[in-house]
Chain A
């Protein structure tokens, strides 16, 4: 019998960390992450979670503490948003290059200048080249379930995982959340066994300076150089597609909830038009799909759950039967287009799928997005696609553009 609690996204994440028995938590306050760490502080100080809690003096140090604690074999957690994530950027690279299963919640928030405390996804999406896996959650149930899956994925592929969920929209909104027990989670999560050896019995030097070319060491082993380790990281990230799908399936079998693995679909089987997005915006889009269906438009939705590794093959399969694709995303790669749009187009390029794609940047700096606005945009784009005036340039939803 599920223990259903009414939780905010941040509370769901904190509860997830608790039932995963994290051993070291390090974080720095930032809106809208703060209540996640406050909840965890309560758990730890009340003895509900046995964990070291390092109240670091910056986000950069938060990630650093996670890296070294994970290196000696502790299961770790940190969380941040926006500028906090940007501040630890250097350490994101370091964690991935170290091949450590650090798990972090990114409570998505816009970045400055100028300041915004409200939601968009520019923060996490601009970290897509760091080697971190990225999973975008659409509701609070998915947050807690993804926390549990994340440790399993991270500790299997030896890569850090970023769990992204929209600031305020999910972090501060209450929803019913079924909470597994620690014992159920223990069955799903074997103890973490690090590949790094930091042990006085076997002295090793970890992550020193490395040459460009391979060298034979003092034991006659032909050792990797920088490029080989980068290749291994990339292969691990690619391999993670299969691991994420497997873990998601196994989780669904054990806990009865399936969030779709790499991506999920809604009313897509006979859809002529497919809309797509990541995170909580997919819920708004599913309402828009319902409205369009009532209007006689055969619309469907593809929710991209995993952004890195990008589900190249799954995307081709999911979109191939549509006549039009409309992408909505809360980010922009200045001077080009939205990141999701680019990755989607790149995935379709090597197939023979040539479907018109319209792309929208939406909700930057927390601008609210209503289902009817999405419906209006989709309708307009469909009309343009139909009369051949659709352009590949990014449109800005509900934004004054002169």
Chain B
């Protein structure tokens, strides 16, 4: 299907048909004082050659550092076929056309994506994707308030071990809609949320509990105990999960006795490059029971009038173009192109390939932790299992150490002192299957040098 912009003649014909003198007249109803006169801070346009050159120069300024930063975005090997197929003309649009059923291939791809994500999470139904993991978490909280009809409080319990950006996005998105986010403390020795800390909420009206697995520190939460505690009190459970980790860990659909009620996450690890922070995509799944409360598009499989199988957008009555202001959510699109890449990535990797990737990332991170904690003045912050990230504590401020490492071409991790000051000089590190033993040894050697130099200074 072609995507062709309107010609000037098209625009003139449309304006003539509706009797408008010009496009500006269509915006008459917006009061003049609300309209932006000029866009300060937006530079003038560049042509393709100029923008190409600017971006190449900027990319060169980044260099090609060896990155050990995770914290929500993970460097994984992406088979070359993923983007070769994704950028084919048939797929290369971020949008499903407005007459969506005209694009059966696009709809089938989304349907396959939903099926794969539902299987990966062990949940009954998935939508066509969200903007990113953080906004999916915010939407899950809003959805829980609609779905949990026994609760009137709109109180959402959020562990401090949830990604701090996710928490901020959830608060920004939902606080003005009456949701109250309450932070659950974590155990500073183990870096997880102790079930015992929940006892103070017994007997209170709580709408939902958020559980991130692995949590922001890379540690594994006791998801079964947390889920069962919530369900025994009619509290819904929102799982925030890493899709790579799900190849090895218990899927949210099997947490505790009943499984999580909503599972969301950041889809970037599934074939999307780091790209300086985006665009990424989020995914969202739930039980069939709550499907009408789930935001976003859903593709279904059906039969046409002649009995042939086909794909169609379904459950659209929840959406903006039908329900207007009362729609389930203002999310009425999805990250189509990134979902295309993720679907191809998952198809190429298969369940076994994804499990091997997850196992390799875990093994590399163990190797990294073992190597770095041999450096004097470096130790592991928390005891207990982790997936592909871990928190290290240094005997000196992290920021100057990271700067020195960066000068040596190594991005050493995320400085946690601004987010979690109670952990002192803490550093979150990550290694995936993309790191070799030689890479890890180079990091260890550089860190050793940097720490020694700092001590001598």
Do A and B form a real pair?
no
B residues near A, CB below 8 A?
Answer: none
A residues near B, CB below 8 A?
Answer: none
